[in-house]
Structure 1
Amino acid sequence: MEFDIVKAQEADIEPHRRLFLAEAKFQFIYNKCHGAGWVDNYLFKFEERSVGYGSVWGKDKREDRDTICEFFLDQPFRKYARQIFDQFIKAANAGFVECQTNDILLAGMAFESAKNINAEAILFETAYETAFTIEGAQFVKSKNPDEWDAYSIQNNGEVVATGGFIWNYNFPYIDIYYEVKENFRKQGYGVLIMQELKKEAYRLNRLPAARCNVKNQASKALLLKAGMRVCGYIIIGEIIKEINPA
């Protein structure tokens, strides 16, 4: 079958992106790239009918367009995924693929067509609620919820941990970040602020999500203790330009 891979505007791929996000049911970290203009988009066509799309961004520099980060096909055309993906690589002149492992279609293409694949980050979704307390500690909201450190844990009036949300991901997900002052670490304040930020996310009609570097085992342990669970990894690999079948 012959497919056409053509560069496209954001509006051209929007119907397919809506289908992708509806099907995904997870926080998609590359969602923010579209509104920020960090990607180039391509439409996949068969006999003048659009059947999917792909996006590329820069692995090291935002202005580069060397890394495939999105790849979606309508259900009837997924049996041609590898053929279309190979054409997409050539059309975009991509050298790398970066994706979430819970994005099954693109992750599959990455494992089939790339080498030197490494995990960059661990992705978390909410699993269960916790009920940790620390004597004297209070969860405090800023009067301006848009501030970077809009929320804090205070103990006897002293700020010991701060945190907040990153909003530019696909609804209903919201990314949680936090930081504990160095002299208050390993005392439970990180788990406590994560717990309270999860509650606040629900109040905001959002589903909490988080991530950490794959080597940051302390952060991973904290997130698991705060009722999160691993739902995937961010991986990146170098596309194999020439594949010689055995």
Structure 2
Amino acid sequence: MSLRVAKSSLIVIDELRRQRRDSIHCQIIRDSILPRGLGDSYLIKIENEDVGYAGVWTRHFPGRVMEFYVSEHVESAASDAFDMLVSVSGAHEAEAQTNIPLMANLLEEKCTDIKDENLLFGEPPEGSDDTSSSGSPGSPGGHDPAFVFRRRRPGDTGPDGAWVVELDHKIVAAGGLLRHYNAPFADIFMEVIPDYRLRGIGSSLIRKLRQHATEHGIRPAARCDIDNDASRKTLERGGMICCGRLQAGKII
């Protein structure tokens, strides 16, 4: 078998990236890294056929593999292709989402000192008893008429975000949807000002953002640091479920 891995460009691997997206049914949290110029692209060839690609961080986590894909018909060569990628790129770490099997399996096979870095969240299964538009127990959303969820207007203050929450005639929280991920997924972000935390506003805002997203054909997702218990609870109370983890380890 003639296997070759070489540094490439985003244009060359674009079709392979599309194939990878089509094969994955969850948010790819590093989907924007290569287009934003934060990593190097590598092309994988077998018998002179373009069969896969990889991405290696050059910023933030230099030397860490963060994307890896080979076509299904050559998955048996994934391990050898990864080894060659490491040799060519000088990568010394790798990361993987546990809900994307190929890279998760390679992380377990090729790395040591594997640690969880982020919890990944998505929508609950269809048919569950979650109701995105309702407030969480004890929260103001959907119950307190003073709770106003609306689009940001010129001159509004408070945290960043296209959507704001008004309570007591002031903006107390804001958030939005980040769309630079594989469609139809978007990342929910939000912030509540300190004096209004621990009142259920964050979880109510998440439910409102989820409702807005689903009404527009967007699948909301989110993540938080592995040790951020407050964010985890807010996301869960906002109706989202943990659907995976981002792990990273040192290449053996």
Question: By the TM > 0.5 criterion, same fold?
Answer: yes
Give the paired residue count.
Answer: 235
Match of 2:152 in 1: 142
Match of 1:163 in 2: 175
Mean alpha-carbon deviation: is it higher for 44-53 or for 126-135? 126-135
Written as runs of structure 1 = structure 2, the 5 A alignment for 1:78-117 is 78-117=75-114
Tell me the distance in 1 between the aligned counterparts of 2:165 and 2:87: 51
Matched, 1:215 2:227: yes
In the TM superposition, what is the alpha-carbon distance from 1:65 to its structure 2 partner? Answer: 4.2
In the TM superposition, what is the alpha-carbon distance from 1:205 to its structure 2 partner? Answer: 2.5
Tell me the distance in 2 between the aligned counterparts of 1:93 and 1:141: 47
Match of 2:193 in 1: 181
Q: Which of these residues, 165, 174, 181, is aligned with residue 153 of structure 1?
A: 165
Output the amino acid matched with 1:141: R
Asked whether the equivalents of residues 123 and 231 of structure 1 are also in contact (C-alpha less than 8 Å), the reply is yes
Output the amino acid matched with 1:205: G
Mean alpha-carbon deviation: is it higher for 151-160 or for 171-180? 151-160
Greater share of helix residues, 1 or 2?
1
Unmatched runs of 5 consecutive residues or more in structure 2: 125-129, 136-141
Output the amino acid matched with 1:31: D
Asked whether the equivalents of residues 129 and 226 of structure 1 are also in contact (C-alpha less than 8 Å), the reply is no
Report the secondary structure of 2:119's partner residue.
strand
Tell me the distance in 2 between the aligned counterparts of 1:13 and 1:105: 18
**CA displacement, residues 125-162 of structure 1 (integer Å, 9 cap, x when unaligned):** 01143311241211021147xx9322111113111211
Report the secondary structure of 2:2's partner residue.
coil
Match of 2:138 in 1: none
In the TM superposition, what is the alpha-carbon distance from 1:9 to its structure 2 partner? Answer: 1.1
Tell me the distance in 1 between the aligned counterparts of 2:110 and 2:174: 42
Tell me the distance in 2 between the aligned counterparts of 1:156 and 1:69: 44
What is the identity percentage for the equivalent residue pairs of Structure 1 and Structure 2? Answer: 29
Runs of 4+ in 1 over 4 A off after TM superposition: none
Asked whether the equivalents of residues 10 and 35 of structure 2 are also in contact (C-alpha less than 8 Å), the reply is no
Matched, 1:122 2:119: yes
RMSD: 1.6
Unmatched runs of 5 consecutive residues or more in structure 1: 241-246
Asked whether the equivalents of residues 160 and 174 of structure 2 are also in contact (C-alpha less than 8 Å), the reply is no
Match of 1:243 in 2: none
Asked whether the equivalents of residues 34 and 41 of structure 2 are also in contact (C-alpha less than 8 Å), the reply is no
In the TM superposition, what is the alpha-carbon distance from 1:15 to its structure 2 partner? Answer: 1.1
In the TM superposition, what is the alpha-carbon distance from 1:2 to its structure 2 partner? Answer: 2.8
Asked whether the equivalents of residues 2 and 48 of structure 2 are also in contact (C-alpha less than 8 Å), the reply is no
Match of 2:56 in 1: 56
Asked whether the equivalents of residues 40 and 65 of structure 1 are also in contact (C-alpha less than 8 Å), the reply is no
Mean alpha-carbon deviation: is it higher for 122-131 or for 230-239? 122-131
Asked whether the equivalents of residues 98 and 245 of structure 2 are also in contact (C-alpha less than 8 Å), the reply is yes
